[in-house]
Amino acid sequence: MKIELLSQHDITRLLQIEQQANPYPWQLSAFESSFGDSYFGYKLLDDNAVLQGFYIAQLILEQLELFNICVAPDMQGKGYGKALLQHFLCEGASRGATEAFLEVRSSNDSAIALYEKCGFSINGIRKNYYVYGENKADAILMAVIL
């Protein structure tokens, strides 16, 4: 596995992975808007150079925020999400970040456990933050000092 910088040419594959792995996936416009000056993202490539995971982040001054992290369903459970998350933290620190933030759906127990293993702690809740159809879910706010 190899981790490389994302490009706009990767959007089609990002969207495909996101739709396969997430019951409430990002739309195309969200991916398209994630290539501005303050954003950065990396992709995880398998041994055949096929994109199998990614993350998208934003750095404003010293504050780093993780917007999306996703691994293709057939590649999950192999430590690739953790590798991407650790890369995110190291890359952010190398760019001058002193703290990192994220939001996660309150029902996403596996993601919350991963974030906690990597040093994140819960520092708040946004009630009914995620809206999908008639359903709503809270967002758990997490942070780590780098």
> Residues with catalytic annotation?
103, 115
Query: What token pair was written down for 63?
Result: 């504050």
The residue among 54, 37, 57, 38 whose CA lies nearest residue 46 is 54
Q: Alpha carbon of 71 to those of 25, 115, 135: distances in Å?
A: 13, 15, 25
Q: 17 with 44: CB under 8 angstroms?
A: no
Assigned token pair, 121: 């702690």
Cα separation of 129 and 43, whole Å? Answer: 27
Residue 90 CB partners (closer than 8 Å, separation 6+): none
